[in-house]
Chain A
């Protein structure tokens, strides 16, 4: 697992310093907010990239997250950790951005992307339709492509839950807050995401294939 919880959950010294920078920003010192932006931009970018899957959208999410954080900073005062808070704002905005992007894409390419009841089509069917040949499986770039497709095929909630739990090490309560659901539902969303990824990728990632992929240019 590629978690970096230490960067999300700030150390006590960083948290103190963040709290001071927040106070100074609230007192009218814009320069103090700069400290917060420079300190947390990389972490927020990593989350945003994993959620959106592309650098352009990720950079937009980062900017918007900090702008929103600045506007809502008065509401933050009682909270404990600026890093976690701005993370949550970024995750929420990334979900909005992904929905917007999906609407734009479906309007452009496939006007019938939604089923009659308005639900998304089963994303796994899309992944499996593009199952590669055995020759292609040995190529790590193809495997990477398939993994990106499998991630893209998750619903926004599933991708968010998976990214936040598996890669960013966020707690279930935190994920539930972003998804606007309860802990039990958030946990189920993590299960669903992993099940779908497994179903889509396990035929391609035998232990031997995975070992090859780890040693290649991926």
Chain B
């Protein structure tokens, strides 16, 4: 075999040679080509000593912080959004309540077609809604309280991570929309108004950055406090609890209870 060309030596050294085995055989018996390969090796080995600076163990986190606010809103595939397990679970729970209310209404309708029974039907629907909305308001209150008390995990950190609250706000937002629409259909304008106010706060939280500065967090807290949403949520939750406990079967909502809620 004739001596290897420079290209062949480079291909051999860089692992892109097509006849590597034949070249290896030649190199083992040819001092000239081996010397040539050693000289090439020396250059490449020297280049390998060029250092790459270490950007630091927290480099990935820093890159994320630098780009997070610049990431555009992702237009997601609608079916993927609705097929997410946590959304499915939330939707399932709400759907189950609606179906339960419907079935209870149907059953009582077939048993008795009197006006009195129709009123009971209304009561049952109301109770289902009261229980579900009460739980929803409880969860919302807990999230808002935790957000109001959020602090950096480490005192040295300048940013506060509110991603957990943000995800919960996203989930609560979906439920809130359905309950608000149901309250409107039921003619409960007071409850619908409170849920509407809560929805705006949840929207703010869900659309906040995952890591906020103390100033941004203070601004979110200020919004929560300015709207008095925590107080309103507590009052309505209490009222719903009382209605749920005191009335078995609960009385049909009368105008006075709704007026009370409207005052809040």
A residues lining the B interface (CB < 8 Å): 1-2, 23, 25-28, 30-31, 33-34, 37-42, 45-46, 49-50, 55, 59, 62-63, 66-67, 70-71, 73, 143-144, 147-148, 151, 165-167, 172, 187, 190-191, 194-195, 197-198, 201-202, 205-207, 210, 213-214, 218
B residues lining the A interface (CB < 8 Å): 6-7, 10-11, 13-14, 16, 38-40, 42-53, 55, 59-61, 63-64, 66-68, 70-72, 74, 76-77, 80-81, 83-84, 163, 167, 210
Determine the chain A residues whose CB is within 8 A of the CB of B6 once the complex forms. Answer: 195, 198
Q: Is the CB of B45 within 8 A of A41?
A: no
Q: How far is the CA of A201 from the CA of B83 in the complex (A)?
A: 59
Question: Known contacts A30-B210, A144-B50, A198-B43: does B67 contact A67 (CB below 8 Å)?
Answer: yes
Q: Closest residue of chain B to A198, judged by CB?
A: B43
Per DSSP, chain B at the interface is: helix
Q: Is the CB of B43 within 8 A of A30?
A: no
Q: Closest residue of chain A to B39, judged by CB?
A: A202
Q: Is the CB of B47 within 8 A of A201?
A: yes
Determine the chain A residues whose CB is within 8 A of the CB of B55 once the complex forms. Answer: 41-42, 45, 55, 59
Told that A2-B48, A218-B49 touch, could you supply 20 new A-B pairs with CB distance under 8 A? Answer: A27-B81, A27-B84, A37-B60, A37-B63, A45-B55, A49-B52, A59-B55, A62-B63, A66-B63, A67-B71, A73-B74, A166-B14, A166-B44, A194-B10, A194-B13, A195-B6, A198-B40, A210-B45, A214-B46, A214-B49
Residue with the greatest number of chain B CB neighbours at <10 A, chosen from A151, A172, A198: A198
Determine the chain A residues whose CB is within 8 A of the CB of B83 once the complex forms. Answer: 27
